[in-house]
Amino acid sequence: MSKTTKILLVYTGGTIGMVKDYETGALKAFNFKKLLKNIPELTQIDCQIDSVSFDDPIDSSNISTLHWVEIAQIIEAHYETHDGFVVLHGSDTMSYSASALSYMLENLAKPVIFTGSQLPIGDLRTDAKENLITSIQIAALQKNGRPVIQEVGLYFEYKLYRGNRTTKINAEHFEAFASMNYPPLVESGVHLKVYHEYLLPRKRAKKLLVHTVLDDNVVILKLFPGFNAKTLTAVLDTPDLKAVVLETYGAGNAPTESWLVEGLKKAMKKGLFIINVTQCSGGSVIMGQYETSEQLKKLQVVNGKDITTEAAITKLMYLLGSNISSKTFKTIFETPLRGEME
Ligand code: ASP
């Protein structure tokens, strides 16, 4: 790290930059320049920090695919001039955004670190300062003149995770995220401990490709005891629907009732893709292990393996937006593209 290392902060909104409206008590976004004034410590970090802000910072519950395109384009516009990127983002949908960006930024060879906080930066007990400062330090890590992290990460409460492996698991604890199926990439204690063996391998000098076409004709369908044929039909008959993330039980199991199997079969005949993802937070789909997943296997449902729902739905948007042929769709979905699955 040195003053010649340049980091770009991309401020999209979220609690990290919010203030309390003392009349209503609600948190709302505020001016990013004021945010930086609240952290004089930033001037002590041994790198140059520039910033870009969304014109209208948002609570991340309002994030849309257009915002993802905006983030990708900001990174693309500054890719040659900056060594790393820190995206300040609300925690509510951060795992979706980090997953989406991991697909949108093909051949990424620089760090893109998502972070935010549970308490606003001006709060006495805020977690924002540590999250922000350490994210910048991680984004600035270099070895032999090259960035150490060359992928989209998510830093929260002393751990950097691969972004597309994370899920928000707690609305209150500072430790708001988990990555159940992949270990942390970096841990922050007295020193930063980088687990090099878990990082995505260095990219050969390929040009960054930014994908901005995302297809949102997708849906997440979570099974539950009592889920019925009427609801299934209503969802599968949604106009223009192209793919479904089916959140199944345990290792990818679903009821063996004929209306479910027939309904899925009919939808697949129409050209819909069905992705089997477990609703458990950890572990993997193993189709065929039980009788209750055997019929899904026979149907040639796509195996989501150990992917998170967030990484699955955004992978669908990215692949459908890339016009992958339907013949190769299953194979490509089942292949790890950015380290998002085993
Ligand atoms: N509602 C906020 C958001 O996601 C929560 C946070 O920032 O952590 O924007």
What is the rounded average pLDDT of the residues 254-280? 97
% the chain with pLDDT above 70:
98
Ligand 1 centroid–CA 91 distance in Å is: 5
Confidence class of residue 238 from pLDDT cuts 50, 70 and 90?
A: very high
Tokens of 329: 């769709």
Give the separation between CA 266 and CA 23, rounded to whole angstroms. Answer: 54
Specify the pLDDT at position 43: 83
What digits encode the pLDDT tens for the residues 240-258? 999 999 999 999 999 999 9
Specify the pLDDT at position 3: 66
CA 222 to chain centre: 19
Ligand 1 atom with the smallest distance to the CA of 59 is 9
Residue 341 has pLDDT above 80, yes or no: yes
78 burial class (0-12, 13-18, 19+ CB within 10 angstroms)?
A: middle
What digits encode the pLDDT tens for the residues 177-232? 999 999 999 999 999 999 999 999 987 789 999 999 999 999 999 999 999 999 99
Ligand 1 atom with the smallest distance to the CA of 13 is 9
Ligand 1 atom with the smallest distance to the CA of 176 is 8
- Residues recorded for the chain: 342
What is the rounded average pLDDT of the residues 86-92? 97
Q: Report whether residue 179 contacts ligand 1, using a CB cutoff of 6 Å.
A: no
Mutate to test the pocket of ligand 1, among 35, 58, 59 (most ligand atoms within 8 A of CB): 59
Min mean pLDDT across 23-27, 86-90, 145-149 is at 23-27
How many degrees, rounded to 5, is the angle at CA 103 between CA 102 and CA 108?
A: 60
Candidates 96, 89, 81; CA nearest to 208 is 81
Q: Report whether residue 90 contacts ligand 1, using a CB cutoff of 6 Å.
A: yes
Ligand 1 centroid–CA 18 distance in Å is: 9
Min mean pLDDT across 14-23, 142-151, 268-277, 300-309 is at 14-23
Residue-by-residue DSSP string for 215-273 = ---EEEEE--TT--HHHHHHHHT-TT--EEEEEEBTTTB----HHHHHHHHHHHHTT-E
- Return the residue whose CA atom lies nearest to atom 8 of ligand 1: 91
What is the rounded average pLDDT of the residues 103-118? 97
Residue 324 has pLDDT above 60, yes or no: yes
- Element containing residue 109 per DSSP (H, E): none
Q: Report whether residue 59 contacts ligand 1, using a CB cutoff of 6 Å.
A: yes
Specify the pLDDT at position 204: 76
Specify the pLDDT at position 340: 98
What is the rounded average pLDDT of the residues 269-278? 98
- Element containing residue 255 per DSSP (H, E): none
Residue 311 has pLDDT above 80, yes or no: yes
Would you say 14 and 116 are in contact if contact means Cβ atoms under 8 Å apart? yes
Q: Report whether residue 120 contacts ligand 1, using a CB cutoff of 6 Å.
A: no
Give the separation between CA 123 and CA 181, rounded to whole angstroms. Answer: 33
pTM: 0.96
Mutate to test the pocket of ligand 1, among 19, 28, 30, 92 (most ligand atoms within 8 A of CB): 92
Q: Report whether residue 12 contacts ligand 1, using a CB cutoff of 6 Å.
A: no
22 burial class (0-12, 13-18, 19+ CB within 10 angstroms)?
A: exposed
Ligand 1 atom with the smallest distance to the CA of 92 is 4
Residue 1 has pLDDT above 70, yes or no: no
% the chain with pLDDT above 90:
84
- Positions marked catalytic: 15
Q: Report whether residue 15 contacts ligand 1, using a CB cutoff of 6 Å.
A: yes
Q: Report whether residue 309 contacts ligand 1, using a CB cutoff of 6 Å.
A: no
Mutate to test the pocket of ligand 1, among 91, 114, 118 (most ligand atoms within 8 A of CB): 91
- Top pLDDT among 32 and 73 is at 73
Q: Report whether residue 111 contacts ligand 1, using a CB cutoff of 6 Å.
A: no
Highest mean pLDDT among 118-122, 126-130, 132-136: 132-136
Give the separation between CA 12 and CA 58, rounded to whole angstroms. Answer: 6
